[in-house]
Amino acid sequence: MKILLIAGGWSTEREVSLSGAAAMRQALVARGHSVTLFDLLESFDSLLQTAQAYDFALINLHGAPGEDGLVQAMLERVGCPYQGAGPAGSFLALNKAAAKQIFRQAGLPTADWEFLPQPPPPGWRPRLPYPLFAKSNTGGSSLRLGRARDKQELDAVLASIFAAGDEALLEPVLPGREVTCGVLGEEALPPILIEPLAGDFFDYKSKYASDGARELCPAPIGPELTARAQRISLAAHRALGLAGYSRADFILGPDDSLSLLEVNTLPGMTATSLVPREARALGMDFGQLLERLIELGLREHAHS
């Protein structure tokens, strides 16, 4: 199959995207596909013209553009099928404040939040108690994420977020451990329990440093919690109107509660990334996972 592998882009996660694309290209070529790497940063103006000449587009973009649905909408204009969520679901999932409204409306457990689309006025105080997490409302890879114990620390984190032109989302610091659970097609995958080794939470260093975190798959959390994480992950996937695959991130509390943080529509895709590791627990290697994503994408766009 002639595949256009779209990666790079111009978000803060550009290097993560290119690294994953290299692994994807290697796996696909080994399986007999013809793969062209398309760096969106260098070639955006030729995306529509180029995509028309390919059988399928594999998108490996993180942040915007990519997770915001722009590339997906453009590919649909020229009838080029792709994997994963469509434009609307992508946009809703990327915007954490919007996604949390959808989770709450669907009856899914998610922590309280405060959305700050612009710097607050002098004298402002957060509605939520300290300590707080402040994060980019549309960012990923835990970039521009910080924990604040008081107003001074919060102001410093918010300043970095707003200086980058982002909106901010505040959430309480929830005690517990991180759990992530992928969805592939209409099936939830085995969850992973994440234990950061390089810090107190799963930040950028923990995610990408070789010694940043211990990732236990399948998560040693017992069958009832496993089933609950899978059930919520699949429900969140459906509530956002997603397709193909996604990955839901949770905090697992000491009382065995699960709090849904966010859903990723273009999760990391190297052979050692979280969703590929979950698929491998079911006996599916990296190349087989990519083939499955292509199969699901072709099926989705054949019906659209």
| Per-domain residue ranges of the chain | 2-83, 91-109+175-265, 114-172
Sign for the CA dihedral angle at 33, 265, 284, 186 comes to negative
Instruction: Cite the active site residues.
Output: 13, 141, 273
Q: How far is CA 238 from the centre of its chain?
A: 15
Superfamily of domain 91-109+175-265: ATP-grasp fold, B domain (3.30.470.20)
The residue type at 212: G
Average pLDDT in the chain: 93
pTM for the model: 0.92
> What does the pLDDT read at residue 204?
45
Look at the block and give the residue holding tokens 């992973």. 192
**60 in a known ligand binding site:** no
CATH class of the domain whose range is 114-172: alpha beta
Res 126 pLDDT > 90: yes
CATH class of the domain whose range is 2-83: alpha beta
Closest C-alpha to 93, from 250, 247, 231: 247
**167 in a known ligand binding site:** no
**264 in a known ligand binding site:** yes
Res 206 pLDDT > 80: no
> What does the pLDDT read at residue 272?
87
CB 97 within 8 A of CB 115: yes
Task: Give 74-123 pLDDT, tens digit per residue.
Answer: 999 999 999 999 999 999 999 999 999 999 999 999 999 999 999 999 99
Please state which of the ranges 144-153, 166-175, 209-218 shows the lowest mean pLDDT: 209-218
How far is residue 253 from each of residues 128, 250, 289, measured CA to CA in Å? 19, 9, 31
